[in-house]
Chain A
Amino acid sequence: GEDVEQSLFLSVREGDSSVINCTYTDSSSTYLYWYKQEPGAGLQLLTYIFSNMDMKQDQRLTVLLNKKDKHLSLRIADTQTGDSAIYFCAETDQTGANNLFFGTGTRLTVIP
């Protein structure tokens, strides 16, 4: 079955870059996603990358995909205190159900 792994915690200083890493097992996933969850709230889609791409940039966010190593990363430039949240990596389940399969989430703490 699918296994999506992330580190549980990351702390950075305000203004620095944050890099959140994710490894996944299903190389046939069509899309890979990053979701953000603020305290006590639901998840919000931040960005996604199609599996035939190796990089996607959207303002302060850069997603890098290494299909060979099954490694996905999210870089947040100029990290702000408002970026403090839990970030989830997700892939689509390729068993036929096509559901999202989430990692454990990385709690990003931005230190002023």
Chain B
Amino acid sequence: DGGITQSPKYLFRKEGQNVTLSCEQNLNHDAMYWYRQDPGQGLRLIYYSQIVNDFQKGDIAEGYSVSREKKESFPLTVTSAQKNPTAFYLCASSIDHGGTEAFFGQGTRLTVV
């Protein structure tokens, strides 16, 4: 079955540690996105990638980094520079950038203690 997979579903890390969230898709989509979701707020865009080996900062990129070495994969690293990293992180993909439908993964809930 085609889809977009995030792992792990829950992640706990100590303050000051970097952590990498995985996102894989087998939909052959060119575009991939990372969003952060906090209670009472909409989704905020962290980074997006329109094509392999290219990515752009979204609205809240500070403290995060990404790579897009393969079409299928768009991992997100939450660095120690991110001041408030505890959140629900959602990865999405679309057939191309600005495509009609974005497909979302099930999310990763990151808790930093």
Contacts and interface: CB of A to CB of B under 8 A. Distances in A.
A98 B98 contact: yes
Q: How large is the interface on B (under 10, 10 to 19, 20 to 34, 35 or more residues)?
A: 20 to 34
B63 interface: no
Nearest to A43: B104
A99 B42 contact: no
Point out which of A40, A41, A100, A105 has the most chain B C-beta atoms below 10 A from its C-beta: A100
Given A31-B100, A99-B33, A41 B42 contact: no
B100 A48 contact: yes
Point out which of A31, A42, A88, A100 has the most chain B C-beta atoms below 10 A from its C-beta: A42
Contacts of A45: 101-103
Interface of B: 4, 6, 33, 35, 40-43, 45, 48, 56, 58, 90, 92, 97-98, 100-107, 109
25 contacts: A8-B40, A31-B100, A40-B106, A40-B109, A41-B106, A41-B107, A42-B92, A42-B104, A43-B92, A43-B102, A43-B104, A45-B102, A48-B100, A92-B98, A97-B56, A98-B97, A99-B33, A99-B48, A100-B45, A100-B102, A101-B42, A103-B42, A104-B41, A104-B42, A105-B42
